[in-house]
Amino acid sequence: MKEQLHALQSEALGLIAEAGDIPTLEGLRVRFLGKKGELTAILKQMGQLDPNQRPVIGQLANAVSAEITEAIQMRREVLEAADLDQRLRAEQLDVTIPGTAQVIGKRHPMMKTLDEALDIFIGMGFTVAEGPEIEFAANVFDKLNTAEGHPSRDWQDTFYFDQADKHVLRTHTSSVQIRVMENQTPPIRVVSPGRVYRKDEVDATHSPMFHQIEGLVVDKGITMADLKGTLNALVQELYGAGTKTRFRPHHFPFTEPSCEVDCQCFKCSGAGCSMCKGEGWIELLGAGMVHPNVFRNCGIDPDEYTGFAFGVGLERMTMMRFNISDLRLIFENDLRFLRQF
């Protein structure tokens, strides 16, 4: 009987493994394990056994039965999975399957500020010009009237690429203005947004990488009045009608005269508060009339044309626009912070 049971087991397991569908599997279950099945038939002969053999055979029969049951169950799972798979492929659209939620993103606050600023400039007739972040030192410095030896070329605050100092990570987007002037004849009216790099330590107001928008206007008869009008219009649009500006004399090598522009603190309207550190004014940007040497370096005749340029830090604009107190928050990409805007 032992041999019979072993033979039954191996036959059953072989057939189960080959069963190609659920009905076949069900047929095998009835054939081997059913009331009139082959296992029962064998067990019916138990009576002929030596009494001390009965428990041994009984145990073996139970083990065989359990193994066949388990094999059927496992085969059933495989067949059912294949079945589902096939049905999914056949019924292309199953409206009962739960959908995948769409996670909707948000604009980064700095990109919002940039879009707003570009809208304002485009509304004033500017076009957008872009240039490479890895620039010729000539475009970042020399042609902008900052010859060899000028402090702003210092290794201290500049990322150079080669010993010959030929290529740098641009320290401002004024380099784009050089490219525009070399390739376009006036009238020119462009803004150039983009990343710039300086060897600054990270703190609440500094980062070795930040963004600027610089503007350039070149035409016949452009004066400082045009510069003031344009920047005043920008400030009114950004921070509300009636926001006052203040132009202070300053020095940039590539503009003459040069100025820095402050706007009246939009939080305290000039009374003095924590935002403006009690000053009543917040520094906004640098600007000036394009230096004649810069024109000459780009093949534009300074006796025929004049122009103005300005450069504004996008992070600072964003911090003012959204009342953000720490520059680092802008770059950390912490969603808990970014979702607020």
Tell me which residues in 48-107 interact with ligand PHE (CB under 6 A).
none
Q: Does 287 bind ligand PHE (CB under 6 A)?
A: yes
Applying CB under 6 A, the site for ligand PHE has a residue count of: 11
Q: Does 253 bind ligand PHE (CB under 6 A)?
A: no
As a whole number of angstroms, the distance between CA 285 and CA 231 comes to 9
Structure tokens at 331: 């770059």
Q: Does 252 bind ligand PHE (CB under 6 A)?
A: yes
Task: Reply yes or no: is the peptide bond before residue 257 cis, omega within 30 of 0.
Answer: yes
| Residue 216 C-beta: closest distance to ligand PHE, Å | 8
User: For every residue of 248-306, which 3-state class applies, written as one string?
Assistant: EEEEECCEEEEEEEEEECCCCCCCCCCCCCCCCEEEEEEEEEECHHHHHHCCCCCCCCE
Structure tokens at 111: 């990109």
**Contact range with ligand PHE by CB under 6 A, out of 6-14, 48-56, 132-140, 286-294:** 286-294
Among 57, 309, 317, 319, binds ligand PHE (CB under 6 A): 309
Give the nearer residue to ligand PHE in terms of CB position, either 61 or 227.
227
Q: Does 310 bind ligand PHE (CB under 6 A)?
A: yes
- 19, with CB counted inside 10 A (0-12, 13-18, 19+), is buried
**Contact range with ligand PHE by CB under 6 A, out of 40-48, 240-248, 261-269, 283-291:** 283-291
**Contact range with ligand PHE by CB under 6 A, out of 25-33, 121-129, 200-208, 281-289:** 281-289
**% helix / strand / coil in the chain, to the nearest 5?**
45, 20, 35
The order of strands in the sheet holding 188-197 is 127-128, 188-197, 209-219, 306-313, 281-290, 255-264, 245-252
Task: Reply yes or no: is the peptide bond before residue 302 cis, omega within 30 of 0.
Answer: no
Q: Does 214 bind ligand PHE (CB under 6 A)?
A: yes
State the amino acid at position 192 in one-letter form.
Answer: S
Among 75, 153, 170, 172, binds ligand PHE (CB under 6 A): 172
**Contact range with ligand PHE by CB under 6 A, out of 12-20, 261-269, 303-311, 329-337:** 303-311
Q: Does 174 bind ligand PHE (CB under 6 A)?
A: yes
Q: Which residues bind ligand PHE (CB under 6 A)?
A: 172, 174, 214, 252, 255, 286-288, 309-311
